[in-house]
Amino acid sequence: MAAASLPDRGQSAVPAVVRVGLEAGAKWVFASALDWPGWCRRGRDEHAALDTLLDYADRYAAVAGPGFAPGDVQVTGQVTGNATTDFGAPDVPGPWDAEPLARPEADRLTRLLEAGWAYLDSVVAAGPAVLRKGPRGGGRDRDAIVDHVREAERSFSGKCGVRVPPRTPWDQQRETLATALRAGAPSGTWPARYALRRFAWHVLDHAWEIEDRRS
């Protein structure tokens, strides 16, 4: 898979050990790499979630760039999921999300979110408008996925302590969110670490969906 042309990610002092937080629901378990926003996968149990996370390491490397050289996986802890977890989306912050977030680290994590945005843009530009349907005929087409991601980010902007009005151009919306997250989202109701992981997961989950459903 060819890497997209992405912005510099500020890869100094990146963590080597992969700290992973688990979110366990009744149907799904999510494994999230706490220091690598967007590298988050699910499975029917803890082992399946971790295996899938590792299976996606190369795909995530195409987003994160040459500074992505993770070491051993270290499970930091587990939180109990909820109905949204079982629907198929990570939804529960963990105690690790309350860790202090210094400006250099906030900038590094935000750069990774921006890299995810750039990757999604490249996938959308190269992807067909009509995507292959699932086994039951379901699934959004490309432009509907784009609309869904953009609106989800706008609707959750308040969690970061900012307001993005409807019909705001997507580049301006992203800039508003990135500015808030670099500052640690001090007025938000979501911890900045969690917000970064949640936004980046959603972006890459749909970028990879488009790649996998190309006709």
72-88 pLDDT, tens digit per residue, is: 999 999 999 999 999 99
Q: In the prediction, which pLDDT does 9 show?
A: 40
CA distance 81 to 91: 7
Tokens coding 29: 């378990």
Using CA atoms, how far apart are residues 98 and 69, in angstroms rounded to an integer? Answer: 25
Q: Please provide the size of the chain in residues.
A: 215
Q: What is the pLDDT of residues 44-55, one digit of tens each?
A: 999 999 999 999
